[in-house]
Chain A
Amino acid sequence: MLSKFLFPLIMLGFLIATSLAETRIVLASQETACIVQQRTHSTLTALCQPGWFSATDRIQIVGSGVMQYGENPGDVLQRAKSIPNTTVLFDTGNDQHIELAISFSLVENYLAAAIFDDQNGDRKVAYQIEGEQVQILEPGPTMTIYGHDGWLEDQDLFNWNLDIEIDGQVSSTMLDEIYMDRIALDSTIHTRIYVRDNNRNGLPEIEWRKSRPNVPSSWNVIRTTVIVNTEDDEFPLEPGRPWYLISPERWQLTKNYGTSKPPLIVDWAEARIELLNEFVASRTNPGNFFVYTFHPLEEGVVSKSNWEDPFAFYNFSGINDEESRTYPNVLIRIAHFHQGEFSDDINDHLPTSVQQIDYTWRFTPVTASAPIWDYRLSIAGRVSITETYPLGPFTTNTIPFSKLPAWVMQQPWDYTTFVAREGPGIQNTEGIGAIWTILESARPTGTQFLTGRIDEFTSGHFDEIPVGWRGEFGMLGGVIPELCVSLIDQRVHLLQAEFGLWAVDDGYTISYYRDPNSSCINRWQVIGDQSKKEQLFHIENHLVYSTSDQIFVKQLVPGTNTITFLPPHNIASWQEARASAPTPSQSENCVTRGSTSDDQSLLPCTLKSMFDLADGRLISAMYAKMSNYRADQAGRASFTLEITPGSHHRGLEVMGISKIDPSGSYRITFQDGIFKAQKITPPNPSVTLSTTELTQYEAGAMTLHLHNDGLTDLPAATIEIWGTPESGSAMLVMTRTLALLSQQSQDLLLSWTPPMAGDWTLMPILRSSGNEVWELPSTRVSVQPTEASDPLTLLKASSTAAMLGFTLVGLLGLTILAVFAFASQWSRRGLEQCDDPD
């Protein structure tokens, strides 16, 4: 009979055991086995083996609630809903020195844990036991944690409705090392942290941190942190030891993917609380976002937030697998500052709001501990964000998480960079990092240009890029950046990019450009290896590849239109982008120069390979040097070709060059599919100079009309204007570098402030980069004198006629008074007599 029930009993026992095991996974997978050694009605001592820091650690518990601890106090500390009114002293190494003390009590219906650590540098917490009370002799508490309704929700779930106050030097906010030396344990709470689990499912949805260090309000420190999990899918807490919030291992402020470790970090060797880390993952969970603002946000008040506001993490793959649930594939970071805020970059208050939007995405699957990111747009804008929205307990101008991608797609942006991975990339929770960020890596000129402080976006910030990365820059003019795919290099590019740079490997860098009539990149040039001078041009349906002494022309097979797409901002657009964009290369897959491959899946990364792989037929191959390429808005391209004499050429007629005597230099133009050649003629510049009415010390206009009648460009010429006054020697009035192209005119409007009045002779001199000099006809101009600052004029300017008379009388009067007083006293007869004897 018993055997009938044995099997079911065994199964039942198995089920119970496994369910308990699952429960234990929620609470703790590692027991703290602390065995009571000694117990009185008010004191309890237990040894923990293994300890939380060393092989044997000790816990001493003092207080009237001691009797409520069982034989394993560790259980109470790790999983009790309510810890009795006691003070727990933690002694690592059982050396009778206390490294941490936590006083548990009930404070106004909150369970409170007041945590004390060492404050005088002796690596122990000084204390004194008086009956049932422990008096901590160190200043403190350093931190106090208040639990609404207990530490646990129920037996299985932790209660994440916590309020935390920090007084001492505990790091709890990003970049707080800036001011940590100003923090003292002085009974002034400098950071308050609030964690909330509103639906009480044992997983926190939101936390916010209010840091108020005693620093000048002008300091850019993070004063409010808000972290939100919009999907309420935080990973369950891993076990803490010896208390459930204390982490057994050290980790730094932000959570890693797929894990939730206890947030409190104690440096047991120093007996100091070191860190209070995140409860809600700021970066490592799709569906989460955070706000780091320099402005202090306050509840019940509409506040402006700034800086990282927000930084949001999405997964638009549309797939519900573990990777999609764990790792985001689109990041949107908005770094913005409001009009009127002080900017160090312009050393002034911002005349307009400024933003940098870092929009990052990947298609590459996650194969390591963190994602590797493929593409990023870094967009500059001046959008004024005036609407306010709820953000936890605050009301701010933070764009809501659900609306953010669409909001980015709808704003009028100003200019952008685009960075693409062409190598192993970076494993990072925040994307591609600081490579070519549009404002932050271009300080200070980025913000200066965006706010109109300077006229040109001076280069230097985007002149180089690390190996394995491509970067592009483009003006947007009020639209959202779009992307295109070049059929030649088979890469994703920024639509309407001005220029780009690609560091293929050490010594091989490609710069690339876009002709005015082209929407996507169509010109490439190797800048890392000057000896070969490789260039590649995609002009209409022709592809031209040139080296230092050869040129090849291919007529391409009529292809499809350029593929364009938007940055992925939802599932549909992500999938469209993924289908449109080739998989980014990694260096080991890239066809580097000197090697070839028949594998069609490999993307070309040399100009030669791009030319070879392009679909078309070779129509011309010549021994010639190509230079001075340019194209205009009408789609007409031209370049100079210097044919090497005596060599075998093929396809001369394609270029419109005679086969009979092809040697020499030609200016080749290409339009509507036809090449035309003209024999080159030297530059033939002319200049006409005229001025407006000129006055000494005041800026006047000088107009130069320049024309180059020859067929040779002067791409880097210098125009100098030499002025000779009537009585004086010649002086350089101004100089300007310009490109004077063949068969083209241009007008230069210059400003000149004549230093002296009279007649001047102005003579222009043009110099080429090859030191050819043209002295051009001079012009005589007349400069009027400025208003003289003689004493009479100044008297009239500084006073009125009537007042002048009055002041002159006054001057006379005081003079008379002074003379009279002095002379009358000095000239008195007889020696002066004293008042009192000395």
Chain B
Amino acid sequence: MIQTNRASHQNPWLWFGPLLFMIVVGAYFVFRYQGHWAETDSAVFTRVIRDVSQAGRLIPTEEGSLVYPNGYSFQAISAFIVAITGLEVRALQQLVYPILSALVILPAWILYREVTGSGRGAVIATILLFMQPEFLFVILRSSHEKFTRILMFLCLFFLVRSFRLTHRPGLFATMIALFYLATYAFIASNSLLAHSFLFAIASTLGFVALLNRFSSFKLQQSHITARLAYVLIISIVLNYLFMFYLYPPVQHQFGVFTDTWSRLAALLFDVQADSVNPYTYVGGAWINLWVYFLVSIANWIILGASFMIWAVQGWRWLRYGRPPQGLTRQFIWLLYAAFALQGGLSIIVDLSGSLASNIQHRIFPSFSILAVAIVASALADWRPQRHQRLVQWSSAAVISIVVCLSVLKATVEPAVGNKWMFYQPEEIIALTWSENHLQQTQLWIEYDERLSVAWATSIDRSVQQNRMRVGVTEPTLPIRSFLLTDITRLRSSRLEQPLPIPYDAQRVYDNGSAELYRLRPRTPFQK
């Protein structure tokens, strides 16, 4: 590598540009629905933050409190922000956090700068990464992932940076200390994601051991292997302390899974029990399958391109002894394989049904971090020799289209998607009226959780022991109260599903956009 260009090195737009891009994305996410958006994980965390704030404890013990079992960082940080700013939790979740997600750009940028070796490469990688709709969505929504990913980037940065600092003991020690600090923070933010990361490290070690049989394979510096082994062991110890001493609720997460294989999968593949089968979910979540492919095209491009580049690099390395340039890139190459292995295994296990059903994998965002690194490194080094303008204009057009499509997916645009996350204020008003006038009542609110998460985000939980029911239109215990809104009618039309309200139901509330219906009593015990 030749010496840096000082001007480009000092250009603040190299990081500010992507930051600004992400701020605008965050603002778009908020203003698209005027702040009236809600989704499941965000609603869960809204409740968790409220409970932690009210109890003043990381693990609230009050009856009915919700404890997030996988970590405490997000709710602790959020409770701190709420306490010092006086912000409502709802406002923090719906308005502030999506814009704050732009902060993820910064550690991502410095990691990619380290990996690609240049600020240019960092910009390219960052833009590519934040065009991935799967990644974008989990960052924008108000869950732990924005902090967890920040910590993951920092862990990777400190790790790969330390590879190059063995000759400078002071900095080396600092990087190691910071790495373990970030690792603990990572574990404390989400232990499942941390497990997945550790499994990837372990897999990397495994690959090194496997590939060492090839004479052409030489990891540039063998101390890396020892270093990774230390990382694994110490991180496992940290994880053990966290699980069994510092934050015991983590153990309950594994109690959900009733058999050993499920628990092993949960431990290794960053899975969680979920009621949605992701493979059937895809077809129903968009107006048609082609739309799904279009809005997620960025994922497919990165997936395909990264695999091709990785395969070529691997072929060159193993066949000809020409590894990717630099220790960092070699490590990234191995780590890519490790995450790809996790993803492949989780898909196989899901499809085989050997585990309990309803396990959802979340490997792709982690995988995309490495995939983008592979692609950006290649792009940073490569430039077309001919038709440069044509390629530039074409790539600009592709980027523009893909960015739009990815943002549409990340914001779950209702024009093209069937899974809506927006709501109208009148719907919350109707739900509030229901809460004030009903007791121990089950209320049908829609075909999915759209309004229940909106309620959980806006108001919290029912104190009248009312329960919101979603989806089922012919439950074993018939529901007697129904909320019907203008949006519900549109969803009925979009999903081609009948409205579950009989013709003779009594309308007891109407605010112009939302109506509450009650079934007529048919026995002396109904009202």
Contact = CB atoms under 8 A, between A and B. Distances in A.
B504 A751 contact: yes
A347 to B, nearest CB: 7
A455 B381 contact: no
Contacts of B383: 826-827, 831
Contact of B117 (A340, A810, A838): A838
Interface in A808-830: 810-811, 813-823, 825-828
B523 interface: yes
B512 interface: no
Interface in B363-415: 379-381, 383, 388, 392, 395-396, 399-400, 403-404, 407, 414-415
A448 interface: yes
B422 A699 contact: no
A818 B499 contact: no
A814 B498 contact: no
B521 A822 contact: no
Interface string B12-48: 0010011011001101100111100000000000000
B490 interface: yes
A749 interface: yes
A542 to B, nearest CB: 34
Interface string A646-659: 00000000000000
Given A348-B467, A819-B403, A751 B502 contact: yes
Contacts of B480: 452-453
Given A786-B493, A789-B490, A818-B400, A810 B28 contact: yes
A698 B505 CA distance: 12
Given A351-B439, A821-B18, A823-B399, A453 B478 contact: yes
Contacts of A455: 478, 522-523, 526
Given A348-B440, A699-B501, A810-B31, A825 B525 contact: no
Contact of A697 (B395, B497, B521): B497
A452 B403 contact: no
Contacts of A454: 477-478
Contact of B487 (A351, A797, A803, A821): A797
A795 interface: yes
Given A217-B63, A452-B521, A832-B120, A814 B403 contact: yes
A591 B121 CA distance: 101
Given A789-B491, A797-B490, A822-B399, A833 B31 contact: no
B194 interface: no
Given A821-B17, A822-B123, A453 B1 contact: no
Contacts of B487: 797
B330 to A, nearest CB: 10
B22 to A, nearest CB: 8
Interface string A313-351: 000000000000000000000000001100000111111
Contacts of A820: 17
Contacts of B325: 838
Contact of A451 (B121, B127, B525): B525
Interface stretch (B3-11, B67-75, B184-192, B208-216): B3-11
A351 B502 CA distance: 23
A96 to B, nearest CB: 45
Contact of B327 (A448, A825, A832, A838): A838
Contacts of A806: 31
A799 B392 contact: no
A814 B121 contact: no
Nearest to B487: A797
Interface string A796-807: 011110010011
Among A699, A798, A806, A835, find the residue whose CB has the most chain B CB atoms closer than 10 A: A798
A694 B477 CA distance: 27
Contacts of B118: 832-835
A821 B127 contact: yes
Contacts of B490: 787, 789, 793-794, 797
A339 B27 CA distance: 47
Identify the interface centre among B4, B18, B415, B480: most chain A CB within 10 Å of its CB: B415
B440 A350 contact: yes
A454 B502 CA distance: 15
A639 interface: no
Contacts of A832: 116-118, 120-121, 380-381
Interface in B70-128: 113, 116-118, 120-121, 123-124, 127-128
Contact of B21 (A339, A348, A818, A835): A818
B494 interface: yes
Given A700-B503, A797-B487, A838-B164, A811 B399 contact: no
A825 B120 CA distance: 5
B68 to A, nearest CB: 19
Contacts of B272: none
Contacts of A347: 477
Nearest to B14: A825
Interface string B319-330: 000000111100
A697 B493 contact: yes
A822 B31 contact: no
A791 interface: yes
A454 B477 CA distance: 7
A753 B499 contact: yes
Nearest to B116: A832
Interface in A437-475: 448-456
A414 interface: yes
Contacts of A816: 400
A836 interface: yes
Contact of A799 (B32, B128, B380, B525): B32
A751 B27 contact: no
B326 A838 contact: yes
B489 A787 contact: yes
Nearest to A813: B24
| Candidate in A692, A795, A826, A831 with the most chain B CB atoms within 10 angstroms | A826
A107 interface: no
A811 B407 contact: yes
A814 B33 CA distance: 17
B416 interface: yes
Given A350-B440, A452-B521, A838-B328, A822 B395 contact: yes
B437 interface: no
B117 A834 contact: yes
B501 to A, nearest CB: 6
B403 A815 contact: yes
B403 A818 contact: yes
Interface in B108-162: 113, 116-118, 120-121, 123-124, 127-128, 131
Central interface residue in B2, B392, B441, by most chain A CB within 10 Å: B2
A701 interface: yes
Nearest to A798: B422
Contacts of A797: 414, 424, 486-487, 490
Contacts of A837: 1
Given A349-B465, A351-B439, 15 more contacts: A340-B440, A348-B440, A455-B522, A699-B503, A797-B487, A798-B420, A799-B33, A816-B400, A818-B21, A819-B400, A822-B127, A826-B392, A827-B383, A835-B117, A838-B1
13 contacts: A451-B525, A452-B527, A454-B478, A455-B478, A697-B493, A698-B499, A797-B424, A807-B31, A814-B407, A818-B399, A827-B383, A828-B120, A838-B328
Interface of B: 1-5, 8-9, 14, 17-18, 20-21, 24-25, 27-28, 31-34, 63, 113, 116-118, 120-121, 123-124, 127-128, 131, 164, 325-328, 379-381, 383, 388, 392, 395-396, 399-400, 403-404, 407, 414-416, 420, 422, 424, 439-442, 465, 467, 477-478, 480, 486-487, 489-494, 496-499, 501-504, 521-527
7 A-B pairs with the lowest CB-CB distances in the bound complex, closest first: A834-B1, A791-B415, A452-B526, A834-B117, A351-B440, A838-B326, A349-B465
Interface of A: 217, 339-340, 346-351, 382, 414, 448-456, 477, 692, 697-701, 749, 751, 753, 755, 786-789, 791, 793-795, 797-800, 803, 806-807, 810-811, 813-823, 825-828, 831-838
